[in-house]
């Protein structure tokens, strides 16, 4: 895990970006403030990215490989684009970070998570999807990035 | 001559049926219609509305129900319900059983005013009786109090009584006429969607069956992002068919809710609900 | 109570599952009301702790739904342990709650 | 019914265009007639939203002194109101046809 963080740090420094997730969380752990959220940790640049490549570069400083070991649970057709339940889980070892991206949203990155050791690579959240889109799940395991994606159809409701 | 007599009888029969409202017979026919449409679906399941017709939508709903989005409304509603009025009384003093577990008995016909009283209207009446202003009938605090009172009634079987009196039956019949009358520029009745085509889609949305449709209200609707009462949905439905909505406390909506809920007698209260 | 958080934390077979519902508008900045854009207002950082130690840090963008639901799981945790949740949004507003594991 | 609507609309539009530019007095008469028809539709419990939209447009045009636009919108509103009145009258008889029987 330490290796992954320092690798990320180097990548970030070389990329000249301000907000690498791994590096930032390392600081959070050092600060160890219980039950408080630190706004300074927010990877603002990554959340402003408009493509998957740019968002992942800013967030992790590296590019992902395709993996079949990520379970991305999304509905085929969303009931309501404003509340789309998304679950992701992974059997990959030593998962340190996870992220969800929606390629057709104005900003690509939807959410990202940094996991402490012992936290399971398994989570469920709800996203807004502007239109029919590929949703991408990214997992950082043993310092490497993996991704998988699935389409979600977003229909216009008829019953205003 | 005999042929004429038969014809007269045939013409007279529907008129006679129309003359005497019979909620029990209506309910049997209404529920029978849905049994005919969906022979496999148990009666109590109708309260799940559109989620009976799509496994994927049902799965999304069940995920959302893990920690339902109306949770805040129920908590807030309980706080409001438990708070004292300036005169020291509270909502509990206005209702039988202290207002707990009674949603299945609403709407009721009030013989004094000759009007149907829905649960949200009863909540407002309680406020007025204790010198407080009425709350908005569609959303906000009143929907939250409604949500809490309905939550305490979950599982109770809907038991709307239509007294065998002329004014009560007239209100019931007016609600029935409203439900089946086509209106609005699109020429739809409530029945066009929710009786004739439940389970079918209107663009992205699945139509809920009219049977059991009232059991989940008030609802947290994702589209609204907050709670709404049944009347709020009536207003939305009317706008959908390009029909100018009635006022939230109008007799039209009260009577409609009276008829519609009476058709679901015997089904369990499932509210508050979550819908897309 | 302005910005409540509902939490459910349960432990079974050595794994604690935390589910929470956070009351927040999560305005994306892309939605118009009465012809005007509603300015963005969303949670940026949400921190989950177990007995004071961070188990998960979440970073949310405007694409996370209104009144967000989130659940995850971590190893360990006993009945009666404390789970803490704290968030801060892009306007600097914050809220925190703690709950016992059931 | 739809045929009738088309004919009525055609007549209304034809009138608005054929007549020499209507004056404000004529526009006031047209708007008053539309108001009356819409009032009857409301009383019948079957007001259409497009009727209200056209009626509003007529009032707005009248207020800014655009007699031609006021007459056009008012005529449209009145015809929509008349159609909704006809629908309401028909439904007084026809609604029972939709009631399920045993």
| D10 has a pLDDT exceeding 50 | no
- Residue of B176, B180, B211 to mutate, interface with D, max D Cβ within 10 Å: B180
Residue A68 to residue A78: CA distance in whole angstroms: 23
What does the domain layout of chain B look like in residue ranges? 23-66+162-275, 71-151
Query: Which residue did the predictor score with more confidence, B39 or A82?
Result: B39
Mean pLDDT of chain B: 92
Chain D residues contacting B, CB < 8 Å? Answer: 42, 45-52, 80, 84, 87-88, 91, 94-96, 98-102
- The answer to whether B94 is a known catalytic residue is no
Q: Read off the pLDDT band of A78 (50, 70, 90).
A: confident
B91-115 b/e (C-beta count within 10 Å ≥ 16 → b): beebbeeebebbbbbbbbbbeeeeb
Q: In chain B, which ranges are E strands?
A: 108-110, 115-117, 201-202, 205-206, 219-221, 226-228, 273-275
Torsion angles phi and psi, residue A149, rounded to 5: -145, 155
pLDDT of B59-85, one tens digit each?
889 888 888 999 999 999 999 999 999
Q: Kindly identify which residue of chain B lies nearest to residue D83, measuring between CA atoms.
A: B185
- Band (pLDDT 50/70/90 cuts) for residue D11 is very low
Percent of all residues in chain B with a pLDDT value above 70, rounded to a whole number: 93
Give the distance from residue D64's alpha carbon to the nearest chain B alpha carbon, in angstroms. 26
pLDDT of D18 > 80? The answer is no
Confidence at A14, pLDDT banded by 50, 70, 90: very low
Return the pLDDT at C2.
55
C69 close contact with B: CB closer than 8 A: yes
Which chain B residue shows the shortest CA-CA distance from D92? Answer: B181
Across the range B228-249, mean pLDDT stands at 96
Query: What pLDDT, on a 0 to 100 scale, did the predictor assign at position B3?
Result: 47
Residue in B closest to D82 by C-alpha = B185
C15 touches chain A (CB under 8 A): yes
Q: Does C56 touch chain B (CB under 8 A)?
A: no
Interface residue C67 vs chain B (CB under 8 A): yes
Whether chain B has a CB inside 8 Å of the CB on C85: the answer is no
Residues of D in contact with B177 (CB under 8 A): 95
Residue A35's pLDDT is what? 60
Residues of C in contact with A105 (CB under 8 A): 63
Asked if B63 lies within 8 A of A87 by C-beta distance, the reply is yes
Mean pLDDT of A121-141: 94
pLDDT digits (tens, 9 = 90+) for B141-152: 999 999 999 999
DSSP D64: T
D27-52 average pLDDT score:
96
Reported as a single tens digit per residue, the pLDDT across C1-16 is: 456 899 999 999 999 9
| More confidently predicted of D4 and C54 | C54
- Which chain D residues are Cβ-neighbours of B13 within 8 angstroms? none
pLDDT tens for each residue of D76-92 = 999 999 999 999 999 99
Taking the C-alpha atoms of residue B73 and residue B272, their distance in angstroms, rounded to an integer, is 9
Task: Give the CATH class of B71-151.
Answer: mainly alpha
Which CATH number does the domain C5-100 belong to among 2.60.40.10, 3.40.50.2300, 1.10.357.140, 3.60.20.10?
2.60.40.10
Are A151 and A134 a contacting pair, CB within 8 Å? yes
Choose the catalytic residue: B94, B126, B190, B237.
B237
Chain-centre distance of CA B13, in angstroms? 31
Q: What residue spans define the domains of chain C?
A: 5-100
> Which pLDDT belongs to residue B5?
45
* Average pLDDT score over residue span A5-26: 39
**pLDDT surpassing 60 at residue B17:** no
Residue A148's pLDDT is what?
A: 96
CB contact under 8 A, C4 and B67: no
- Chains C+A touching (3+ CB pairs under 8 Å): yes
Please write the tens of the pLDDT for every residue from B99-118: 999 999 999 999 999 999 99
Give pLDDT, residue D14. 47
CATH 3.40.718.10 fits A2-154, yes or no: no
Q: How far apart are CA A46 and CA A107, in angstroms?
A: 9
Contact residues, B window 69-108, toward C, CB-based 8 Å cutoff: 69, 71-72, 75
Omega before residue B107 within 30° of 0, cis? yes
Q: At what angle do helices D67-94 and D24-43 cross, to 10 degrees?
A: 20
Cβ-Cβ contacts under 8 Å, C4 against chain B: 72, 75
Q: Do B180 and D45 touch (CB under 8 A)?
A: no
Report whether pLDDT(B23) > 70. Answer: yes
- Name the least confident of A81-95, B137-151, B181-195: A81-95
Comparing alpha-carbon positions, the chain A residue that sits nearest to C96 is: A35
Q: Check whether A160 has a pLDDT greater than 60.
A: no
Tell me, yes or no, whether chains B and D touch by having 3 or more C-beta pairs under 8 A. yes
Residues of chain A contacting B, Cβ within 8 Å: 75-80, 82-85, 87, 124, 126, 155-160
B242: nearest CA in chain D?
D49
Q: What is the pLDDT of residue C62?
A: 93
Q: Specify whether the CB–CB gap between A41 and C59 falls below 8 A.
A: yes
| Mutation target among C65, C67, C71, C73 for the B interface, most CBs of B within 10 A | C67
Check whether D20 has a pLDDT greater than 70. no
Comparing CB atoms, the residue among C46, C66, C75 nearest residue A118 is C75
Query: Which of D96, D14, D86, D3 minimizes the C-alpha distance to D48?
Result: D86
All residues of chain D having their beta carbon less than 8 Å from the beta carbon of residue B181 are 46, 88, 91, 95
Is D95 in Cβ contact with B177 (below 8 Å)? Answer: yes
Provide the pLDDT confidence category of residue B178 given band limits of 50, 70 and 90. Answer: very high
pLDDT of A16: 36
Count of pairs with CB atoms under 8 A, one residue in A, one in C: 138
The CATH label, of 1.10.150.120, 3.40.50.1860, 3.40.640.10, 1.10.760.10, for the domain at B23-66+162-275 is 1.10.760.10
Euclidean distance between CA atoms C58 and C35, whole angstroms: 33
Mean pLDDT of A130-149: 94
Of A77-81, A97-101, B203-207, C27-31, the range with the highest mean pLDDT is A97-101
Ordered by start, the domain boundaries in chain A are 2-154
* Residue C47 reports pLDDT greater than 90: yes
Closest Cβ–Cβ partner in D45, D48, D95 for B242:
D48
Q: What is the pLDDT of residues A19-51, one digit of tens each?
A: 444 444 444 443 334 467 888 889 999 999 999
Provide the pLDDT confidence category of residue D47 given band limits of 50, 70 and 90.
Answer: very high
DSSP characters over C20-73: EEE----B-S--EETTEEPPPB-EEEEEEEETTEEEEEEEE-TTBPSS-EEEEE
Q: Are B245 and B239 in contact (CB under 8 A)?
A: yes
Q: Is the pLDDT of residue B263 over 90?
A: yes
Percent of chain B whose predicted confidence (pLDDT) is above 90: 83
B220 by DSSP, 3-state: which?
strand
B chain contacts of residue D99, beta-carbon cutoff 8 Å: 26, 29, 176, 180
């Amino acid at each position: 895990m330490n290796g992954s963080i320092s690798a990320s740090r180097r990548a970030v420094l070389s990329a000249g970006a301000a907000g690498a997730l791994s590096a930032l969380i390392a600081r959070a752990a050092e600060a160890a403030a219980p039950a408080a959220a630190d706004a300074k940790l927010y990877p603002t640049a990554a959340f402003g990215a408009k493509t998957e490549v740019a968002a992942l570069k800013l967030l992790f400083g590296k590019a992902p490989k395709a993996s079949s070991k990520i379970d991305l649970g999304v509905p085929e057709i969303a009931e309501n684009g404003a509340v789309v339940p998304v679950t992701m889980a992974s059997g990959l070892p030593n998962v340190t970070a996870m992220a969800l991206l929606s390629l057709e949203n104005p900003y690509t990155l939807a959410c990202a998570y940094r996991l402490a050791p012992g936290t399971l690579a398994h989570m469920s959240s709800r996203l807004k999807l502007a239109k029919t889109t590929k949703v991408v799940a990214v997992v950082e395991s043993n310092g490497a990035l993996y991704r998988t994606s699935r389409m979600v159809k977003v229909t216009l409701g008829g019953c205003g | 001559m005999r042929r004429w007599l038969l014809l007269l009888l045939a013409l007279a029969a529907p008129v006679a049926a129309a003359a005497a409202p019979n909620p029990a017979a209506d309910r049997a026919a209404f529920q029978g219609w849905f049994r005919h449409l969906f022979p496999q679906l148990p009666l109590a399941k109708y309260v799940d509305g559109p989620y009976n017709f799509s496994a994927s939508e049902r799965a999304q709903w069940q995920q959302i129900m893990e920690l339902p989005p109306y949770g805040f409304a129920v908590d807030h509603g309980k706080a409001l319900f438990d708070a004292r009025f300036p005169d020291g009384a509270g909502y509990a003093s206005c209702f039988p059983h202290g207002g707990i577990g009674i949603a299945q008995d609403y709407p009721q016909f009030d013989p004094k005013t000759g009007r149907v009283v829905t649960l949200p209207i009863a909540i407002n009446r309680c406020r007025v009786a204790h010198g407080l202003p009425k709350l908005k009938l569609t959303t906000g605090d009143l929907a939250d109090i409604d949500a809490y009172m309905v939550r305490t009634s979950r599982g109770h079987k809907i038991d709307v009584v239509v007294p065998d009196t002329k004014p009560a039956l007239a209100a019931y019949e007016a609600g029935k006429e409203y439900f089946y009358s086509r209106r609005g520029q699109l020429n739809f009745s409530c029945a066009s969607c929710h009786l004739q085509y439940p389970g079918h889609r209107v663009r992205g949305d699945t139509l809920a069956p009219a049977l059991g449709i009232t059991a989940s209200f008030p609802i947290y609707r994702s589209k609204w992002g907050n709670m709404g009462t049944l009347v709020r949905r009536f207003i939305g439905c009317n706008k959908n068919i390009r029909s100018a909505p009635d006022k939230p406390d109008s007799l039209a909506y009260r009577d409609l809710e009276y008829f519609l809920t009476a058709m679901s007698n015997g089904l369990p209260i499932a509210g508050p609900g979550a819908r897309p | 109570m302005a910005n409540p958080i509902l939490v459910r934390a349960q432990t079974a077979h050595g794994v604690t599952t935390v589910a929470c519902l956070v009351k927040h508008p999560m305005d994306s900045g892309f939605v118009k009301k009465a012809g005007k854009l509603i300015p963005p207002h969303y949670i940026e950082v949400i921190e989950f702790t177990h007995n004071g130690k961070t188990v998960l840090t979440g970073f949310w963008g405007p694409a996370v739904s209104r009144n967000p639901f989130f659940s995850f799981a971590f190893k360990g945790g006993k009945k009666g342990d404390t789970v803490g949740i704290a968030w801060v949004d892009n306007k600097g507003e914050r809220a925190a709650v703690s709950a016992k594991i059931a | 019914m739809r045929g009738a609507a088309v004919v009525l609309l055609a007549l209304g539009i034809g009138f608005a265009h054929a007549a020499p530019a209507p004056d404000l007095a004529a526009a006031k008469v047209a708007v008053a007639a539309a108001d009356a028809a819409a009032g009857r539709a409301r009383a019948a419990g079957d007001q259409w939203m497009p009727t209200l939209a056209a009626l509003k447009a007529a009032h707005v045009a009248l207020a800014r002194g655009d007699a031609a636009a006021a007459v056009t919108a008012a005529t449209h509103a009145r015809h929509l109101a008349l159609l909704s009145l006809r629908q309401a009258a028909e439904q007084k008889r026809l609604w029972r046809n939709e009631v399920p029987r045993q």
